[in-house]
């Protein structure tokens, strides 16, 4: 090929490129056709570049860059058009492919822990932080563990407040309090000890908004050297402030339980009213939250502890009552009805 032929060929290609109107290619396939026509394996530009090799060195030096320049501008034009066409396509799909983002999520089914579980765990967790271990005992008990060892002999009027379910044909009963686990724990462990004993208890009582025949208690027991009412006050105030808030005010007033002496009922300042009285606190400004006391030495003696060396304190908390206060539940029976609409409202992640 002569230089003149090559230059003729160059001019023809250049003009064909001009007519090809790359910037006006209507879509990606058409653009691709153009690209193949010029820079495909047998494309016009490809051929033009190939035919450079037939020219003399000098001509090649002169014409080579010219041809390369033509190709570079073609490539750039194709790339630019390609991006433009893709953007156009994206714009269409960005609007046409839009899904309804407001349809409900496909959430994995999520269950719930019962509010009494979470309340009980919260109570136990706080005591665990204070070094109390978890202890359990049977629901079906004998007189000794439920009454006698707890200094409630037969014919003691204190039994009146423990309306008891007895088992048919057996000398057994359903425990009326978790204090039974105090005895069981002390029978099986040497002092010192510090335990919480959560569990179900049973009272022969008609069900109403604030009474149940089956309910949950958390019993606590500490036996150590030199323990007195002051330790009880310290531990229980710490517990109540952790459970109900640091500003919780407590009141310890004398009471009576046969297995503790001295005994106390613990009230917290009502957190539904400014102490002026409301239905939640029966218009007293205080809410009764637990019973407690210094372990009666007679109880320590009944399990074979040396009551001159060891002393302790014990307490009992009604879990339903705490859950009702924490969650604003008004009827205790709701906890045992298992209405999904009720249970759904208690998300443990919120406690």
Residues between 211 and 270 that touch another protein (CB under 8 A): 213-214, 222, 224, 226-231, 233-235, 237-238, 252-256, 258, 261-265
Which residue, 18 or 111, is less far from another protein as judged by CB? 111
CB neighbours of residue 65 within 10 Å: 11
Shortest reach from residue 190's CB to another protein, in Å: 13
Least distance to another protein from the beta carbon of 229, Å? 5
Annotate 21-51 with DSSP letters as a single string. -GGG--SHHHHHHHHHHHHSTT-HHHHHHHG
Q: Choose between 57 and 108: whose C-beta lies nearer to another protein.
A: 108
Other CB atoms within 10 Å distance of the CB of residue 234: 10
Binding piece for another protein, criterion CB under 8 A, among 41-49, 57-65, 87-95, 343-351: 343-351
Q: Does 14 bind another protein (CB under 8 A)?
A: no
Q: Which is it for the CA torsion 195, 201, 203, 206, positive or negative?
A: positive
What is the bridge-based pairing of β-strands 286-295 and 193-202?
unpaired
CB of 124 to another protein, least distance (A): 9
Please identify, using beta-carbon distances, which residue of 41 and 107 lies nearer to another protein: 107
DSSP conformational letter for 326: H
Spatial CA neighbour of 222 closest among 185, 183, 195, 250: 195
For the bound state, the minimum distance from the C-beta of residue 106 to another protein, rounded and expressed in Å, comes to 5
User: What length does the chain have?
Assistant: 351
Alpha-carbon distance 298 to 153, whole Å? 12
- Which is closer to another protein, CB of 43 or CB of 291? 291
Residues 59-118 contacting another protein, CB under 8 A: 103-114, 116-117
Question: What's the CA gap between 279 and 271, in Å, rounded?
Answer: 12
Question: Who contacts 288 (Cβ-Cβ below 8 Å, separation ≥6)?
Answer: 265, 266, 267
Instruction: Single out the residue of 133, 148, 248, 280 in contact with another protein (rule: CB under 8 A).
Output: 133
Give the span between the Cα atoms of 143 and 165, in whole angstroms: 12
Q: Is 136 in the site for another protein (CB under 8 A)?
A: yes
Q: Which is nearer to another protein, 40 or 138 (CB)?
A: 138
Q: Which of 136, 133, 135 is nearest to 125 (CA)?
A: 133
Can you tell me which of 84, 344, 345, 351 binds another protein, judged by CB under 8 A?
344
Enclosing H/E stretch for 141? strand 140-141
Site for another protein in 149-208 (CB under 8 A): 155-158, 160-161, 165-170, 172, 174, 192, 194, 200, 202, 204-206
* Residues near another protein (CB under 8 A), total: 90
Q: Can you state the angle between helices 319-327 and 115-129, rounded to 10 degrees? A: 110
- Site residues for another protein, 274-303, by CB under 8 A, read 294, 296-298
**Closer CB to another protein, 25 or 289, in the complex:** 289
Closer CB to another protein, residue 26 or residue 226?
226
DSSP code of residue 296: P
Q: Smallest distance, Å, CB 231 to another protein?
A: 5
Q: Which is nearer to another protein, 26 or 254 (CB)?
A: 254
Is 254 exposed, middle or buried, given 0-12, 13-18 or 19+ CB atoms closer than 10 A? Answer: exposed
327 binds another protein (CB under 8 A): no
């Amino acid at each position: 090929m002569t230089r003149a032929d090559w230059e003729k060929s160059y001019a023809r290609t250049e003009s064909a490129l001009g007519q090809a109107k790359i910037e006006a290619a209507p879509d990606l396939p058409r653009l691709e056709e153009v690209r193949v026509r010029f820079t495909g394996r047998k494309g016009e530009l490809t051929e033009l570049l190939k035919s450079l090799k037939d020219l003399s060195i000098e001509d090649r030096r002169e014409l080579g860059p010219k041809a390369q320049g033509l190709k570079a501008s073609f490539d750039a034009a194709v790339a630019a058009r390609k991006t433009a066409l893709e953007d156009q396509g994206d714009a269409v799909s960005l609007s046409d492919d839009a899904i309804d983002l407001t349809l409900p999520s496909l959430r994995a089914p999520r269950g719930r822990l019962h509010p009494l579980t979470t309340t009980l765990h919260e109570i136990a967790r706080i005591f665990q932080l204070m070094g109390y271990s978890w202890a359990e005992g049977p629901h079906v008990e004998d007189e000794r563990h439920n009454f006698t060892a707890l200094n409630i002999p037969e014919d003691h009027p204190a039994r009146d407040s423990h309306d008891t379910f007895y088992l048919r044909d057996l000398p057994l009963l359903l425990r009326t309090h978790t204090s039974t686990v105090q005895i069981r724990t002390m029978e099986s462990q040497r002092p010192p000890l510090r335990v919480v004993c959560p569990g179900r208890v049973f009272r022969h009582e008609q069900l109403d908004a604030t009474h149940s025949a089956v309910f949950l208690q958390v019993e606590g027991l500490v036996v150590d050297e030199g323990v007195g009412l002051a330790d009880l006050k310290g531990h229980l105030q710490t517990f109540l402030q952790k459970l109900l808030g640091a500003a919780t005010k407590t009141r310890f007033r004398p009471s009576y339980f046969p297995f503790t002496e001295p005994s106390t009922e613990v009230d917290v300042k009502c957190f539904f009213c400014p102490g002026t009285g409301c239905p939640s606190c029966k218009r007293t400004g205080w809410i009764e939250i637990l019973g407690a006391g210094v372990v009666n030495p007679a109880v320590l003696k009944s399990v074979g502890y040396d009551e001159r060396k060891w002393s302790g304190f014990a307490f009992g908390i009604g879990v339903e009552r705490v859950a009702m206060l924490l969650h604003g539940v008004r009827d205790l029976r709701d906890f045992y009805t298992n209405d999904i609409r009720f249970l759904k409202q208690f998300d443990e992640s919120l406690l």
